[in-house]
Structure 1
Amino acid sequence: MVKDMALTTTPEENKQIIHRFVEEVVNNGNYDRIDELVAEDLIDQTPFGETRGRDALRDTMTQIRTAFPDFSVTSHEIVAEGDSVAVRMNQRGTHEGEFMSLEPTGRTFDIEAMGFARLEDGQIAERWAQPDMLGLLQQLGVVESPGE
């Protein structure tokens, strides 16, 4: 029996998959789309550590949405080469739930972030999120800016 060749996607198609992930999953909270857009054995790397699998991603997204109910992302650039995609974006939200053991401050944030992904067979197989954590904590009022 001959095994089917792995599906391949073009860099342009990979950019569209990332765009759909940001809009449908992150911004609209449609976690059902994770099964379509994300590999079952996803490796997700964030400032909080590495997690694996779709369920762990759902948990991460739920924690973010609980802490910041209005969390949203605006993508400014999406660049792709081969199976890799890079995104320059802004993330924003209002701190209304516990986050990193911090009680809600009610303050808003708007930070820059970078995201990188590797796609495989038309799904996100690995993801690296690099938000401006210092800027986030400063805007929430839990860390002072130098010189304050």
Structure 2
Amino acid sequence: MSVEANKSLTLRYFNEVFNKGDMKVLEDITAPDFIFTMPTHEEPFRGVEGYKGLVNMLRGCFPDIQFAVEDLVADGDRVLTRWTARGTHTGIPFPTVIGDVPAAGNQFHIEGMTWHRISNGKIAEVTANEDGLGLITQLGRSLFPGQPSATPVPSSPEANKAVVGRYFTEIMGQGDLAVIDELMTPDFAFHIPTLPDPVRGPEGMKQFVTGLRTAFPDAGFAPEYMIADGHRVAVRYQMTGTQKGDFLGAPASGNFVKDDGTDLFHLSGGKIVSVHVAEDGLGLLQQIGVIGTN
């Protein structure tokens, strides 16, 4: 099979088997000697019938579970997928290495990566790694002595919009770093094209906000419109400010700037898990004089 055919087979694995629970598709796309391994499962799952048990268990625990493929890399007979998964624990207890976790209505949002090996047009082998620690913690299981268990936080599109509104008003607009601890998860990630790597965790975000507001002390963020769908919030906004400090290696110019951008937020349990930013970085550098205009 071609690389593209292998990618298509992998997408069916996530979209039709896990997201829709279609066991007929699972039978169609897996080889007779199919094997699945994951560090959180002591023994591998062998054969399609054994693997059905895992799929049914996940969908029994998390009836609304959804996987989203974020990156797909293929070469030869192997495909690597980076994915995110989210859901709400409203079903049966979730079995873990430290005991079953009863359903408490907690939401989760985790990342993972999965290898697929394709043989003769069928999935022969799957090897997966997931954020099991983050999953257990988000489901409410205390892992350390004295650590309080998480309690379910009501979440709705409107509630998530309110959280994002506070992000723009209190964190980005006012520079209130304490609000970062309140609104962001410990594994928070901030993705912006002007930085080579994501900003990780609340402490990393505090450094980012401090640097931004040092460069633009009068920075203001004005959302133009905001929409929400399940656990996601998308915002179109305009940032304005005067560059009075170093920014991306450029010295203070004293120039007033406007930067139009769009942010996509993922939330879980009333907290921000990640932010992906699309902004006019080129225009911003032109406005502060780093890049000339013809």
Normalised by the length of structure 1, the TM-score is 0.89
Q: What displacement does 1:127 show?
A: 0.3
In the alignment of these two chains, the number of paired residues is 140
Structure 1 alignment gaps of length 5 or more: 1-8
User: Runs (4+) of structure 1 moved beyond 3 Å?
Assistant: none
Q: Distance in 1 between matches of 2:11 and 2:61?
A: 23
The answer to whether the aligner puts 1:84 opposite 2:78 as a matched pair is yes
Q: What displacement does 1:138 show?
A: 1.2
Quote the residue 2:111 is aligned against. 112
Quote the residue 2:141 is aligned against. 142
Quote the residue 2:28 is aligned against. 36
Q: What displacement does 1:143 show?
A: 3.0
Provide, for residues 28-80 of structure 1, a one-character-per-residue CA deviation record: whole Å limited to 9, x for no partner.
11111012111121011122130100001111100111111111100001110
Q: What displacement does 1:144 show?
A: 4.9
| 1:1-148 aligned within 5 A | 9-46=1-38, 47-48=40-41, 49-96=43-90, 97-100=92-95, 101-144=100-143
Quote the residue 2:193 is aligned against. none
Q: Distance in 1 between matches of 2:137 and 2:143?
A: 6
Classify the secondary structure of the residue corresponding to 2:44.
strand
Q: Which has the larger radius of gyration?
A: 2
Structure 2 alignment gaps of length 5 or more: 148-294
Classify the secondary structure of the residue corresponding to 2:142.
coil
Query: Which residue identity lines up with residue 94 of structure 2 in the other structure?
Result: F
Q: Percent same amino acid at aligned positions? A: 34
Q: Distance in 2 between matches of 1:136 and 1:83?
A: 30
